Amino acid sequence: MHKIKNVLIGITGSIAAFKIPELVRLFKKEKFNVKIIQTKSSLDFVSPLTLSVLSENKVLSSTITYEKTWNNHVSLSNWADIFIIAPLTANTLAKMANGQCDNLLLATYLSTKCKTYVAPAMDLDMFQHHTTKTNLLTIEKHGIKVIPAKFGELASGLIGDGRMAEPQEIFNITINKSNPKLKGKNVLITAGPTYENIDPVRFIGNRSSGKMGIEIAKICSDFGAKVNLILGPIAKQFEYDNVTIHKIESAKQMYDTAISLYSDSDILIFSAAVSDYSPEKTNELKLKKKDDFLNIKLKRTKDIILEISKRKNKDQFIVGFALETDNAIKNAKLKLHNKKLDMIILNSLEDKGAGFQKDTNKISIIDKNNNITKYKLKNKSEVAKDIIDNIIKLKYA
């Protein structure tokens, strides 16, 4: 159960305000009560009608109502268990940093005692401006949690820092961080593909993007865990609070790193797509095109999960992944028992939208008592939350 029930969302005048209906939907789906305050300028960016329908509450935007009554900012701030200001403009940020109070949102902010989060959204130059930087530091110093803006395409067409965090990330950070169920726990995660070199140019690899493991790492961190993420070669840069990234290329490097880290880990989640075979020898020079056929002798790589499950102690919880093309449940159960796992996550290539390089996944969770829970297609962040909730339920509830 969440300790938080009442979520107050403040919206200011940035293009990113159009994403807030999605944030409201995420909270309502999980049965939170949501109330919304909009600044005057934000009314041009997102409709209060949409927000009031989704939140099932009247949206407030001024201290004094049309009928000359008071929208009581003090009772609003007492009602809230958390206050999220998203998007946060440079203008409202500056006022927050200086205690200005010329609208309902700011009056409420000055009265709140609950945890407050802000998700800045600005164009590149505004975000880089020294006043913005100073103001962010000032509010952080006073205990406001800043959900970092991201690098990406901005409304102006420029590319850079200043893009508001996505609603799902805001939801995960605000809710999971307030309920650190994995505080004090160490989690080891493997993610991404491995590359087995044939020569300096060519390799044997696979299509894994690492997205699933990365989302799991984020949720574990949001829940208060310290995470070691052993990450195969992927195109995207990734960094996150309390996640130490160990970059590797080959199955051997992944094995060696996992062996060096496993003993300090409470939960071990093996989501990487590790190559089962590797060339027996790597040519030092690029192989030349010669005959019609080229034979490359492959040898088995070490089975990381099997080796670690042989060595694990009784308090460690091991989760494997199975990606199957046929007889999915039967093969996944076999892997679960042969490798003495506590849980296996099955994703099947037979399911549309599931598997490599997609932003969505459709999984079934099978635990060591053969209980099977099937989930519908969800985005990988939601899937990661389902997996971690299941681990917590089985291991720590």
Ligand X SMILES: Cc1cc2nc3c(=O)[nH]c(=O)nc-3n(C[C@H](O)[C@H](O)[C@H](O)COP(=O)(O)O)c2cc1C
* 332, 324 contact by CB (below 8 A): yes
Considering beta carbons, is residue 15 or 306 the nearer one to ligand X? 15
Considering beta carbons, is residue 9 or 387 the nearer one to ligand X? 9
Considering beta carbons, is residue 50 or 242 the nearer one to ligand X? 50
Q: How far apart are CA 83 and CA 281, in angstroms?
A: 58
Task: Enumerate residues 6+ apart whose C-beta is below 8 A from 292.
Answer: none
Q: Which residues of this protein are in contact with ligand X, per CB under 6 A?
A: 12-16, 39, 41-42, 89-92, 121-122, 126
Considering beta carbons, is residue 15 or 110 the nearer one to ligand X? 15
Least distance in Å: CB of 251 to ligand X? 45
What are the CA-CA distances from residue 119 to residues 19, 81, 195, 340 (Å)?
A: 12, 17, 37, 43
Least distance in Å: CB of 65 to ligand X? 19
Count of C-beta atoms within a 10 Å radius of residue 112: 19
Considering beta carbons, is residue 39 or 112 the nearer one to ligand X? 39
- Give the DSSP per-residue string, 369-397: T--EEE---EEHHHHHHHHHHHHHHHHT-
* 287, 199 contact by CB (below 8 A): yes
> With 0-12 CB in 10 A as exposed, 13-18 as middle and 19+ as buried, what is 146?
middle
Angle between the N-to-C axes of helices 211-222 and 380-395, in degrees from 0 to 180, rounded to the nearest 10:
50
Considering beta carbons, is residue 39 or 348 the nearer one to ligand X? 39
Least distance in Å: CB of 380 to ligand X? 27
Considering beta carbons, is residue 15 or 298 the nearer one to ligand X? 15
Considering beta carbons, is residue 23 or 274 the nearer one to ligand X? 23
Picking from 355, 330, 344, 351, the residue whose alpha carbon sits closest to that of residue 387 is 344
Least distance in Å: CB of 90 to ligand X? 4
Amino acid found at 241:
D
Q: Edge to edge, what strands does the sheet with 243-247 contain? A: 243-247, 226-231, 186-191, 267-270, 317-324, 343-348, 363-367, 372-374
Least distance in Å: CB of 132 to ligand X? 8
3-state DSSP assignment of residue 326:
coil
Least distance in Å: CB of 103 to ligand X? 6
Least distance in Å: CB of 12 to ligand X? 3
Q: How far apart are CA 248 and CA 260, in angstroms?
A: 13
Least distance in Å: CB of 68 to ligand X? 22
